Structures are given as C-alpha cells and as structure tokens.
Structure 1
Amino acid sequence: MSKFQTLSWLLPAFLLLSFNLCAKTPVLDTNALLQQNLSSQPEWHQLLHLKNKRPQITSDSFLLSAKSFSPRAELLKTIELYHSSPDAALCRYPGRFYYLFSRQGESLAANDFKQCPDLQKYIRFVPFDNLTLVFASEVVDSASSMMGHIFLKASGKNAKNTDVSHSISFFTEINSMNPLSLIYDGIIGGMDGFFIVRDFTFDKKRYLNEEGRNLWQYGLNLTEYDKQLIKLHIWELKDVDITYLFQSYNCADLTLELLALASPQAVRDELIVTPLDVVKVSKQSGLIKNQQVLLSPEWENRMFLGGMDKTATTSLQKFLKDKAPLDVSAFKKQEDILKGQEYLKFLHRIGKTDQKYINTFNHLTFSSDVNNKLLDITNYKNPLKTPDDSMVGIGWVHENEQRSLDVSLVPASHYLHGDNRQYHSESELLIGEVNLRISFKTGAIKLQKLTLYSMLSLLSDTELDSHWSKQVFMGYKRELSENGEDTGVFETSFGLGKSFEIHEDILVYALLNIGAGLGSDKFYPTLTPQVGAVVNLVQDSKLTFKHELTAGRYNDMRWGERSSLIFSWYGASDLNLSIKAEYREYGKENELATIAGVSFLF
C-alpha cells in the first residue's frame, strides 16, 4: 500500500474522530441533581403525569420504574439510563433531560439530539414559535363530542422557512353502538387513547365544515423554555399506550398536564376535568394572552340572524327573498349594520346570494363611523362565559303532606333550566347525576335518581339548515305506580322531534321517545310523547315547562302523566336558584310536589 493510499484512508477516520471528540456528550451531574430533591418538584411530577402522586400513564413504554414506581425511583432510573446509554436516553426522553440539564444551569440544543433522526425531523418540521390552546365547541347529542374537545396548536416557520401549523391532540375512537358497553369501557375498562400530531388544516376543515363546530383559539403566554419543554415532552408520548377514560383521563386531563409544565398552578384536583375547565384554568393562571374564534357556517348564520334587532332581520330577509326595497330605518344600531354587512358576505361566501346585494346594502347603509369598524365576534357564545359544569344541589320538597330534603351531585353537566346562553342551543347534559331524598319524618334515605347518561338537544331550524331535536336517557329513577308508591325502575330511551323558535326568547318543542325498562320485576317497552317550552325571562331567569305521557310502563298500556314547571334564576356565577312544581298521575293515583332548590356550581 502506498503512502498516498494510507493517508487517504486515515484522513476520514481522523476527521470523524476529531468531530466526535469536539461534539462530546453533555455531562449529567447526578449528585447535584439529587441534592435538589427533584423527585418532589411539580415539574418532575408533570413530566411523569402524576395525580395525587400516582401515574396516570402506567405503560412500561413510558415509565422505567413501572413495576415499583415512585417519583424518586423514576428519577434514578432516568439518570441511570443516561449514564449507561446517553444517546438512547436523549432520543427516548428528550423532555426529561431538557428539564434535568436546565436544573444544572445548561440548555440542550437541537444539535444535542443529532443521533436521533426521527426526533430531529420532528424538531425541524414541527415548529413551536407559537402555541395555541384550541377549544372545539360541544355537540351534546354526540357521545364523543358532548362536552367539546380541547387540544394544542403549534405554529411557526419550519426548516424550509414555510409557515405551518400542527394539531396536538389526545382522543379516542368510539366503535361500539352498545350504550352499556360504551359506559363500561369509557368509565371502568378504559378505551384506546390516541395521541397525535397532524396538520391543523385537517382539524380545521373537519370541525368547521363537517361537524359544524366553532374553533376557539387562545394564544398562550409562554417562555421559550416552556415551549421547548412542552415540545420535547410531546415526543416522549408518541409511542406510549395511554388508556382513555371519559371521567378521569380524557383530552382535557392530558392537555392540562402539558400546560402545567409551564404553569404548575394550572393543576386541578377535580372529580372530572372538562375541556371548558382547561380554558377557564388557563385564563385564571395567566396563560392566555389573546383569543380569536373561527365560526362554522351554521353558527355564523345563527349569530348574525339572532344577534340583529328583529326589525332589522325582517327587513334584510325581505330584501333577500322578496326582492323588496331595503328598509334602512330598521338598522338603527351600528352593530346591526355591521352584522348585516357580514351576514351578506357570509351568504355570498357559501354561494347563497350575489355581490349586488352586498353593494346595495353597503351603499344604502353607508356611514364613515360604521365602515371604519370591525365586528367583534369573540363575545358570541364564549366558552369563558359558560357556568362551571359541576354542581351540588339541595332541595326542600313538599309532596302529599310529606316533607323531605333532596341532595344531588352532578359531576359534569348542565340542566335545561340552567344558564345555557353560551351553548349552541337550549340543551341538557347529565352524566353521573345522583339524587338522594331524605325524609324529615323518618330519616329514611332513598335513591331518587341515578342518571348514567341523559341528553336533550333542542336545535331549531333556520333558512340554511334543518335539525332534529334529540333526547336520550339511561339510568335509574322512581316512578309512580298503581298502588300510589314510588317504584324504582331502570329505563333507557331515545327520542326525536322538532323545536321551533316562535320568538327570540321562546322555544317550543315536541318529541316522541321509545324505550325499555325494568321495574316491579317486569321488563317492558315504553312510548313517551312529550311537549315543552323554554322561555328566557329578564334578570337572568328562565321558565321551563314539560308535559309527557308514558304508556307501557310495568307492561300496562294505561297512560302515565307527568307535568312540570320550573322557574330558575342564575344571576350569580356560582349559584342557581329554582322553584319546581310537578304533577304526576298513574291510573287512579296522583301526586303534586313542590321543590325549592339551590345549586352550587364548581
């Protein structure tokens, strides 16, 4: 071999050795870290997804000490992994080591992960220049969307200097139509959870156009360190088996845990954490710096029509439908003119009107004061204004000369007679409602009601869309029997109907429910037609009326009857008051009850 050939072989080897010596692995100071008692620090607990010091993610693909877990044991095994195989440790737990090195005054850079090609690709092409909290509005008649969905959006310029946005979301897929199986899997057994990072345009199109849901976007006030820690920790969750539970580990729980990496005070030890809770906690913790909303076409249509003065709405509809001259005098408020302009633009955007109507309207309503303003839609159905969705209630009951006390707990829900002004429509959603009745005379305690799942959606039609109103009930309740006693029954039912908005403050509806039940040792079918009305009153109050007939209960085709009238007041943010009168009749038996109640929201 010639000297030239020897040199040509040695030169690359020397350069490679020189490069490796210069790019040495960062040194982790074990003693210094252990002296800081890091295993007791909130940030370390959030990196492990602990609740009450117990891991919510128990997979051994995530926890190194899964068989004998403790925060300290996990810390020791994490450090041990780094000392035995630093490259593998950094590729597997970049978030943990980003945190640990920061505690010894050092900062890991992208080059420190050069030995991790997949992680490098993620770092380069999923920028975290800005991080946004996104709330997709609720659809109460959908099992997977009944309380909305919460996720993160990361955006910025990627390695190719292209502006991109990615959704970071945790969800489950519902593949069973069996309600009992769904309840068991969703609450007890657990469902497969999916943690994904994907192009935000996919979710934007899906929620706005396919599902008709608004997207509320809240810009987050985070430091560069916070954003990098969250970004690298998200990588640690990509191949982890995570169990999804509706009541204890859902999209809200995981998203809140990610935010708690930047703001430990965001952690909430609550019975159920909902997507709305995440938005409110983020606001209270000072994480939200700005907000904007993307309205679905259906919500946008309802906002413009419902938000304008009635005379202005009538004038605009006659102008569009009947080609009648526009009554400019109907638009007395600047806000009505702005909404009229935006409504016509919206109709033009979806192909429902011509540009000439926009030009005519703008010409007839022209005002320099108006045309220099923008319409603020961030106060329309704002999630931050919704009441808290957990409550404890107390009711004083007078029924057939008997006095008793009702005590109720609703973990995550809202009533039809509650404050629904920030929801898409008048609705009711009850999950896990428990109602006990205590007799003042005997002290006896009876389970009056146990609602596993109940939903009522009263969405009226508009010129652009048509909707069925829907009702679902599954649970235990007490019903009047032919001997005059309350009999415990377990029933499930489903109903369809229509709702009509006869006035901007008055909604009437009619439903037909079919179902089945078990009571008095009998299995029976049920048929329940129902009519009702919701009247929104002044001073934060409401009147709700319902009348229903039920045939088939106890295998008896005689009609049972129930009517109720509820006056409610919800002027306080954490307190609701109500007075209810209810009449029940079955065969020759009938009862009249009055209940004065107070509910505390939290």
Structure 2
Amino acid sequence: MKRIFSALALCICSGLHAAPALPPAQLEALARQPYWIALGHYETGKLGGWRSYVDDDDFFLAAGGANDPTAELQATVDALYAPAGLGDQHAQCVYPARTRWLREQLRLQDLPQPQCAEFQAWFHDIAPHSAVLVFPAAYLNSPSSMFGHTLLRIDQADIDANNTALLSYALNFGAFIEGMDNSILYAWRGLMGGYPGLFALVPYREKLSEYRSLENRDLWEYRLNLTPAETGRMVEHVWELKQIRFDYFFFDENCSYRLLELLEVARPGIELTEQFPITAIPTDTVRAIKGAELVERIDFRPSRERELLARADPLSTAEQDWALRLADDPGQLASSELRALPRQSQALIQDTAFRLTRYRANGEARDSASAQRSYALLQAINRNPPPPLQVARPESPEDGHQSRTWQLGAGSRDDRAFAEYGLRMAYHDLNDNAYGFPLGAQIEILQLKLRQYEGNHWQLQRLDLANIRSLTPRNQLLQPWSWQVGGGLERVLGADGDERLVSHLHGGVGGSWQLRDELLGFALGTLRIEHNEDFAATIAPALGFNSGLLWRNRLGNLSLEASGDYFHNGEVRRSLALNQQWELTRSLGLRLSAQRQFSQLSSPENELSLELKWYHY
C-alpha cells in the first residue's frame, strides 16, 4: 500500500522536486552501510544475496526491496521528493528514521516539507527520552512463559524524579494469535513460524499488571544508557514498523531478537544480533546487552506471588491458617481467638489475608463479594498497619549459566566402558549449575547424546526434542500442580539385554513440597506412549510414577529419583537414579550419575558415569 501511494505521487505530480541522481557506486556503497541494513532488517541469504526479516510487502517501496537493499534505497530517495501535498501518506511521514539518515548521509537540503500530523502527534504523546529493557522472568507453570521475555519501556524526561514510570509506554514484539490455540498447537506453530509477529506500543501500566499480577512473574528492569537522541531515533523506526508483520519463531526470530535490532538502530555501531545466528534466548540477549555496556542500573519488581509468600514467611502454621480463614471470611476479624494474638501477629495475618484475596482475584471478573472482603481487610490493615514488606532480591537471571551446553562423559554400563558426547541447544535441567535458576525448573530443548563403546561401536543414545519439568512447591496458602512433558528418542532395556532405540512421548502431573530449605520432594503420576520394536503393537501406552528428592547443597544440585512405567502389554520398567553436580565455575559443571534399571525383558542393568558440562553460547 505504501509503495502504491508513492508511485502514484511520482507519476501524477512529477517535476515539483527532483531527486538527486546518485552515481551507481555511491548508491551501492550507501546501501551496504550497516545502518541501512539495520533499517531494512536485512541479513545475508543462505545462498548469497540479501533477505529481509520483514515478511510484509507494505514495508518496502521497491518491487524487490525485501531482497535488494540498493533498489529499496533508490526507491526511498525518489519517494522523499514526492509532493508535500501527500501529507501523512508522504514517505517522509511514513519513514521518519530512513528520512533522517538519508538527509544526513546525502546532505539533502531541498526536500519537500510535508505536514506529518499523525506522526508528530504520536511522537509528542510518547515523548521519548530514555529506555529501560524489561525482563519478565520465567514463570514455571506457564509453558509460553518458561523462557522469560523482554520488552522495552520508553520513558519521558525526569521519570525518576517524578516517579512516573506507570505513564511510560511499553514497546513489545510478540506473536499475534487469533482465537484460542491449545498448548500443543501453540508450541508447534511457535516453533515453525506459524504466527505473525507484530510490534505494539501500549501503556506500561497494562504490561506491569499483566506480568506481575496475572502471570505472577517477577520483573527485572535494566535502565539503558541511551541518550535522548538515540531513544528518539529508535522510536522513529518503531513508527515505520507499525502494523508490519514478521514471521515469529520462539527460538530465534522472537521478542528478544527484534529488540536487539531496535537497539542497533538506536546506537549505530553496536553489534548484537550477530551473536545469535541460531537461537535468541531472552537471558542470553540480556547478557549481550550488558556486555555491550548499555546497562547503567538494574531494578527488581517482585510479583504478587513473591510478595504474598514473603509476607507469609514469618507466620507460623497456625497463623497462616488464620490468614486463610480471613481471606475466606473477614468476619473472623472479630474472633476473640484472633484478638488474643499479639498485635504485630494480627497485622501480619491481616496483610497476608488481604494479599491472598487480591492474588485469588487476579484475572477474574470483579465481583462485589470479593470487593467487600478486600475492603474489610483493608480497613483492618489501616487500623493496625504491618511493618513495611521486605522482599529479598533473588539472583539476577542473566548471571546464571549460558543456554547451550556441550557435554563430554565417560562411564561403564555393567562390564562395558563407554565415552559419551552431547550437545543441548537449551537450556537447563534439574541438576545444572543452580545460580540464577529456581529450584525445580527444567527446560531442555534439542538435546543429542552419542555414545562410543569399546571396539569403536557408536550409537545414538538419546535425542530429546523437548523435556520440560515444573516442580513448583505447594504450601499452606498456594497449591500449584507440578507437571512434566517431553518426547524424542532414547535407549531402553530390550530383549536379551540389548538396548532398543525407541520413540516416545510422556507427561505427568502431581505435587511438590518444600521439605526444608533447599530440599524439595515430588511425586507425579505419569503417562507414556512408546513405539518399540520389541512390542507387537505399533504404539504401547503405559501408566507410571516419577518421584524423588531434589537438594541444593554446597557443591551443587543433587537429585534422587525413582520411576516406573507399567505398560498395557504387561511390560514393567523401573529405574533408580542418583545425580550430583559439582559447580566448578559458572560455565563448568561436573556430574556424577548412577542408575539401576529393571525390565521384565532382561536382567537389571547398572550404569555409572562422570560427565563434564560446558555452558557456552
């Protein structure tokens, strides 16, 4: 549509202003400038040439602009000299960032002066002065949130002095999803680029409510040292991308990658996107932004769930029970048993009950009963206020290990020695180096392990497409479910003691409990579907269990697990596994693993291995 308007203008109203005739060599050199490449979101094609990440013809003025930066530059220069009467449809109004750069590079002093009323009003309303990178941390019980997310907050001047962050705008890039896709379809389409990605600029207070309240995600805010001119230049380019579609991929062309491109527009010369040729995991991109010395301050905003648990932490079991009762029935405030407690305990109980009431109301339609309960508790809090809430700041997520893992191990399976080589694209398992990660979180994507036995016998040991576990502990106030899901290829015990490579899908649901500090117990019921050459049926289902302990100790993480699968065809498979990881450095881990496997198809097998893990992007 943009290309059509400009072409019509040039054809109908030519002669008023003449675009400069650029020598081919100058035009070619200008089109190869990194800043022009950034404005067009170009990358070198797999077979040579260029391609733009933008998947929308409306973004380009030249017919082949998506694959030809030179043609797009020439078309843009021509369009800048269209008659000023086009107003908001003029190329200078539609492409303010391109216009600014070309005016500076070509010293264009004779450009028409269109009235860009829409852009000027939009830019004045945003009033960009500085920027903050916002990282909503991973939320284990939401599959779409388990990698975290990044967005930018665009601030006006004097935001700290006036405490007006809620009046800022949030710049977000995300998948545009029409209707309600189930989790499996959502994951598949996200992996395959089945959703269009769009930039959106919305009030920051809306995003703050969404992440802190509705999704219970902590927020990390990284104040960037962009100047007002750099921030304004970035926002100008955002106008150019309004309603422009990109293909959205979870692991590379995602929210974080697109924001890195914007920062390269804001500050010419920094190189961020080239660090992520395969995947762009949000924590890795935050680390890259810090490495580029763009961060001047880090602030932390805890989620409502974290605030609730922090307020309830000093309460005894009986006092937490009182908080539950008050959240259900504020009439209990008049109870003589409650009034007999010390006033400080009453204050903490009342505040915990109020926070629990508000937590339960997250995402629910407002109703008068809930409002009345909240009001009654708020009145009690005003009469007997609690001390200020102190929430311990957790470890910064970007300070944890990097997402890609190379693995080198050696061990023995009964009387056979082996070496094992592995690569995991992302990102963390229960025993990995723990700093910066919550206990009980596991997200493994695309893990390959090759094993070399004595006699130079090689075999594929496992290929995990995904292996995700969320062991979120239950407590007196909150009762979340723990769950796991995964699938791929793996070796299992087969007939005559052989190992069979089988394909499988598995899942499970159950509970986890904090037994004491840094010690987690869990028990899940599981379902497994397997294709195994030893079985008569093509697909064999099994019910089972997975239970164990997870202990974060001074050396690292230790896990002790027992699992079993009881197949419909009568096969029973069980295992016991012990893993202890030593955290040598932030980027290196050493893991000792011992396992005993049982199957009705063969005698028990014992396996012992030692594996070095290198966390490296």
Report the TM-score, using the length of structure 2 for normalisation: 0.79
Q: CA deviation at 1:105?
A: 6.5
2:407 equivalent in structure 1: 393
1:223 equivalent in structure 2: 227
1:284 equivalent in structure 2: 291
CA RMSD of aligned residues (A): 3.6
1:210 equivalent in structure 2: 214
CA–CA distance in 2 between the matches of 1:66 and 1:426? 52
Q: CA deviation at 1:29?
A: 8.8
State whether residues 92 and 114 of structure 2, in contact with CA within 8 Å, keep that contact through their aligned partners in structure 1: no
- Cα pair distance change 1:26/1:76, threshold 3 Å: closer
- Cα pair distance change 1:462/1:66, threshold 3 Å: farther
- Cα pair distance change 1:343/1:96, threshold 3 Å: farther
SS in 2 for 1:472: strand
SS in 1 for 2:232: helix
CA–CA distance in 2 between the matches of 1:483 and 1:198? 63
Equivalent AA in structure 1 for residue 206 of structure 2: F
What are the within-5 Å matches in structure 2 for residues 469-488 of structure 1?
469-488=482-501
CA–CA distance in 2 between the matches of 1:386 and 1:357? 44
SS in 1 for 2:263: helix
State whether residues 114 and 120 of structure 1, in contact with CA within 8 Å, keep that contact through their aligned partners in structure 2: no
Q: CA deviation at 1:454?
A: 1.7
Equivalent AA in structure 1 for residue 381 of structure 2: Q
2:135 equivalent in structure 1: 135
CA–CA distance in 1 between the matches of 2:312 and 2:34? 48
CA–CA distance in 2 between the matches of 1:204 and 1:465? 22
What are the within-5 Å matches in structure 2 for residues 345-424 of structure 1?
354-355=380-381, 377=392, 379-424=393-438
Q: CA deviation at 1:456?
A: 0.4
What are the within-5 Å matches in structure 2 for residues 160-559 of structure 1?
164-173=167-176, 175-177=180-182, 179=184, 181-182=185-186, 184-263=188-267, 264-267=270-273, 268-303=275-310, 314=316, 354-355=380-381, 377=392, 379-444=393-458, 446-520=459-533, 522-539=538-555, 541-552=556-567, 555-559=568-572
SS in 2 for 1:122: helix
| Residue range with higher mean Cα deviation, 271-280 or 138-147 | 138-147
Match of 1:95 among 78, 94, 97: 97
Alignment of 1:579 with 2:592, yes or no, is: yes
Q: CA deviation at 1:525?
A: 1.1
State whether residues 427 and 457 of structure 1, in contact with CA within 8 Å, keep that contact through their aligned partners in structure 2: yes
State whether residues 411 and 418 of structure 2, in contact with CA within 8 Å, keep that contact through their aligned partners in structure 1: yes
1:149 equivalent in structure 2: 149
State whether residues 221 and 299 of structure 2, in contact with CA within 8 Å, keep that contact through their aligned partners in structure 1: yes
1:10 equivalent in structure 2: none
Q: CA deviation at 1:150?
A: 0.8
Equivalent AA in structure 2 for residue 143 of structure 1: P
Q: How many residues in Structure 1 have an aligned counterpart in Structure 2?
A: 543
Q: CA deviation at 1:152?
A: 0.9
1:55 equivalent in structure 2: 52
State whether residues 403 and 441 of structure 1, in contact with CA within 8 Å, keep that contact through their aligned partners in structure 2: no
Equivalent AA in structure 1 for residue 72 of structure 2: E
CA–CA distance in 2 between the matches of 1:292 and 1:271? 30
What are the within-5 Å matches in structure 2 for residues 110-121 of structure 1?
115-121=115-121
Equivalent AA in structure 1 for residue 447 of structure 2: E
Match of 2:606 among 582, 592, 598: 592
SS in 2 for 1:417: coil
Match of 1:567 among 569, 575, 580: 580
Equivalent AA in structure 2 for residue 99 of structure 1: W
What are the within-5 Å matches in structure 2 for residues 26-45 of structure 1?
30=22, 34=26, 37-45=29-37
CA–CA distance in 2 between the matches of 1:433 and 1:199? 39
- Cα pair distance change 1:201/1:178, threshold 3 Å: closer
CA–CA distance in 2 between the matches of 1:381 and 1:100? 44
Q: CA deviation at 1:272?
A: 0.7
- Cα deviations by residue, 1:552-601 (Å, 9 ceiling, x for unpaired): 1xx53232011110000224111111010111111142211112111111
- Percent sequence identity over matched residues? 22
- Cα pair distance change 1:36/1:192, threshold 3 Å: closer
- Cα pair distance change 1:404/1:551, threshold 3 Å: same
CA–CA distance in 2 between the matches of 1:482 and 1:134? 54
- Cα deviations by residue, 1:379-433 (Å, 9 ceiling, x for unpaired): 4242232221221111113112222222221112101101345334421001112
1:3 equivalent in structure 2: none
Report the TM-score, using the length of structure 1 for normalisation: 0.80
- Cα deviations by residue, 1:137-186 (Å, 9 ceiling, x for unpaired): 1124433212011111113279xx9983211111115643273x555533
SS in 2 for 1:413: strand
State whether residues 590 and 613 of structure 2, in contact with CA within 8 Å, keep that contact through their aligned partners in structure 1: yes
Q: CA deviation at 1:436?
A: 1.7
Q: CA deviation at 1:447?
A: 2.1
SS in 1 for 2:171: strand
Q: CA deviation at 1:499?
A: 0.5
State whether residues 472 and 494 of structure 1, in contact with CA within 8 Å, keep that contact through their aligned partners in structure 2: yes
- Cα pair distance change 1:229/1:113, threshold 3 Å: farther
What are the within-5 Å matches in structure 2 for residues 10-29 of structure 1?
none
Equivalent AA in structure 2 for residue 95 of structure 1: A
- Cα deviations by residue, 1:259-309 (Å, 9 ceiling, x for unpaired): 122342333234211111222111111111112222111122345667xxx
CA–CA distance in 1 between the matches of 2:244 and 2:213? 31
- Cα deviations by residue, 1:98-131 (Å, 9 ceiling, x for unpaired): 22223356899xx998533332232122221221
1:74 equivalent in structure 2: 72
Equivalent AA in structure 1 for residue 53 of structure 2: Q
CA–CA distance in 1 between the matches of 2:285 and 2:33? 22
- Cα pair distance change 1:96/1:48, threshold 3 Å: same
2:369 equivalent in structure 1: none
